[in-house]
Structure 1
Amino acid sequence: MTVLDATGAGADGCEHHGARMLASLERARVYALPDAPAGAAIRVFKAADGIRPFCWVDGPRTRPSQLSHAENRTQHHR
């Protein structure tokens, strides 16, 4: 996987780490590498939706920027 940030800078990685990176960056994009299995980019995109960004930061995770996109959608509709 290649994950690009909002400026176009990127990093390659596996699906697991690509999803974590995608979840942690604003306006990031994901692309499958040429040798990636079929559907890899969409799997990373879907996984990132439910992953909290920056999971290695301690403390209560209550601010919208600390929650997953899915959690933010759920809280927004309450």
Structure 2
Amino acid sequence: MTVLDATDAGADGCEHHGARLLASLDRSRVYALPEAPAGAAIRVFKAADTIRPFCWYEDAPRTESSQLSHAENRARHQR
């Protein structure tokens, strides 16, 4: 996977780490590398939707919308 940020700076990685990075960057996007299995970019995109930004900070408070996953923010606004 290649994850690009808003300035087109990118990083290559596996689906797991690509999803974690994608979840933590604003206006980022993901592309499958040529050797990636079919559907890899879609899987990363869907996984990133449910991962909180900077999820490796396990004891960080999560109260602001910028600290929640996209899915959590959608659920919060649908109430």
Q: What is the TM-score normalised by the length of structure 1?
A: 0.96
1:62 Cα deviation after fit: 1.1
**2:44 aligned with 1:44, yes or no?**
yes
Measure the CA separation in 1 of the matches of 2:56 and 2:32.
Answer: 25
Measure the CA separation in 2 of the matches of 1:54 and 1:76.
Answer: 22
Moved over 4 A (4+): none
Which blocks of at least 5 consecutive residues in structure 1 are unaligned? none
RMSD over aligned Cα, in angstroms? Answer: 0.7
Corresponding residue pairs, total: 78
**CA offsets 1:16-55 (integer angstroms, 9 cap, x no match):** 0000000000000000000000000000000000000101
Aligned to 2:8: 8
Measure the CA separation in 1 of the matches of 2:29 and 2:16.
Answer: 15
Give the counterpart letter for 1:69 in structure 2: H
Q: Report % sequence identity.
A: 83
Aligned to 1:68: 69
**2:59 aligned with 1:55, yes or no?**
no
Measure the CA separation in 2 of the matches of 1:59 and 1:12.
Answer: 27
Q: Secondary structure at the match of 1:35?
A: coil
Q: What is the TM-score normalised by the length of structure 2?
A: 0.95
